């Protein structure tokens, strides 16, 4: 968001055009490099929220385990300490407290999954619009790139995440 605001100070159309292209390319590169690791499935219509969250967690766990490689002894020790700490904390809780915490964590994860898929869909749409804009000459394309970035910045999925990050 700040890169776009900074680009407005650029009065040279050719330089700003290059900046807009670079911004969009950076976002598309992020999607192809980073987000290609995890493909979250769509929620089925009859699927409950806890069932969807469990299915998504199973997929993320498989993806994480296949991409982990060899764990170091310090990583294994850290995981064991975390596991012991969780078990001790759960032993001190009542069943209703555990159920309440589980429900809260499920709801939080569901909201995060929705945000993730919303952002991912936005970036996929941006990518397809960007690729299809390549057939136009510079001046119409300049306006198209500007509109693409503005559309993303005003989209509710982006705004929700953006306002969480920028206090």
> What single string gives the DSSP state of each residue in 28-54?
HHHHHHTGGG--PPPPPTT--HHHHHH
pLDDT at 37 over 90: no
Answer yes or no: pTM beyond 0.85: no
pLDDT at residue 70, rounded to an integer: 59
* Residue showing tokens 């936005």: 122
**How far, in Å, are 123, 140, 162 from residue 31 at the CA level?**
7, 26, 17
On the CB side of 125, CA atoms within 13 Å amount to 13
Q: Where are the domains of the chain?
A: 2-165
pLDDT at residue 19, rounded to an integer: 92
Greater model confidence, 65 or 39: 39
């Amino acid at each position: 968001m700040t890169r776009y605001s900074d680009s407005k100070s650029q009065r040279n159309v050719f330089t700003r055009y290059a900046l807009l292209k670079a911004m969009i390319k950076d976002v598309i590169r992020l999607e192809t490099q980073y987000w290609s690791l995890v493909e979250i499935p769509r929620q089925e219509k009859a699927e409950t929220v806890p069932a969807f969250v469990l299915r998504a967690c199973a997929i993320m766990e498989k993806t994480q385990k296949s991409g982990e490689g060899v764990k170091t002894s310090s990583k294994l020790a850290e995981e064991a300490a975390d596991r012991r700490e969780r078990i001790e904390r759960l032993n001190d809780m009542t069943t209703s407290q555990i159920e309440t915490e589980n429900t809260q964590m499920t709801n939080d994860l569901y909201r995060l999954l929705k945000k993730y898929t919303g952002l991912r869909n936005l970036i996929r749409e941006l990518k397809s619009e960007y690729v299809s804009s390549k057939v136009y000459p510079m001046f119409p394309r300049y306006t198209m790139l500007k509109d693409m970035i503005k559309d993303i910045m005003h989209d509710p999925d982006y705004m929700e995440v953006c306002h969480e990050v920028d206090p």
